Structure 1
Amino acid sequence: MITIYHNPCCSKSRAACDLVSNANANEPVEIIEYLKQPPTVEQLKALHAMLGGPLRDMIRTGETEYAELGLDAASVTDNQLYEAIVRHPILLQRPIVVHNGRAAIGRPTENIEALFD
């Protein structure tokens, strides 16, 4: 199973869907429009573990909500960041593709290709 956390308004996200469907036609694909179905804190923690790296790498720091919520402060905890993403899913990087227990943020799309090597 391949899972894509997708925003249909995002060209990179649409490109990730195309890449996955063209390269992996034999595997089922679940597309989650995360703005309509925000992930839970538990799902975000699982994604973070699969992505590796700092939690802030999976957050869109350029979004207005990021600044308005003061999420750039060093004192903000991981739990506060997870909760902010749940309440404001626009903060989640996109697209995120999950395959075989690993995940990648599709910026650039080569990150996704590496999941299938």
Structure 2
Amino acid sequence: MPKLTVFHNPTCTKSKRSVSCLETNKASYDLEVIQYQVNTPSNETLSILSDYLGLTQKPESEAPWNYLLRPEAQGKAQSFEEAYRLIQADPALLERPFVIDWDRKLAVLGRPDISLVEKLVAERVALEQ
């Protein structure tokens, strides 16, 4: 069965709404909920997330690594590796909620609303029918 992972902050409204959407439809996939402030994603996972978001294909002049970071941390890194180090040092700096569809090598961010999460779930459900 396909696996979806959500990097979740239980105090964040959008994160809670995303998890609720994912749990409602989890008959079509295995759901892994990671409270990233408790279990910080590894650099390898953050690298995969960056790739699945399409960030690694963007020019460095656009500072695509900022997409991974909360607004207060944007501009503090000059590379993906620096962004990963910031997140490792303070997991609260990771933007949320990110959802990864491992089977399709695709990831989305549930901000500014959860429409991309809803779309990813709808596509995954349709594939399993």
TM-score of the superposition, structure 2-length normalised? 0.77
- Structure 2 residue runs without a partner (length 5+): 56-63, 124-129
Determine the C-alpha separation between the residues in 2 that align with 1:42 and 1:15: 27
Indicate the percent of aligned positions where both proteins have the same amino acid: 29
Alignment match, 1:112? 117
Between 17-26 and 105-114, report the one with greater CA deviation: 17-26
Alignment match, 1:72? 75
- Structure 1 residue runs without a partner (length 5+): none
Alignment match, 2:43? 41
Determine the C-alpha separation between the residues in 2 that align with 1:23 and 1:104: 17
Determine the C-alpha separation between the residues in 1 that align with 2:120 and 2:20: 15
Greater helix percent: which structure?
A: 2
The partner residue of 2:53 within 48, 51, 55 is: 51
TM-score of the superposition, structure 1-length normalised? 0.84
Moved over 6 A (4+): none
Q: How many residues align?
A: 109
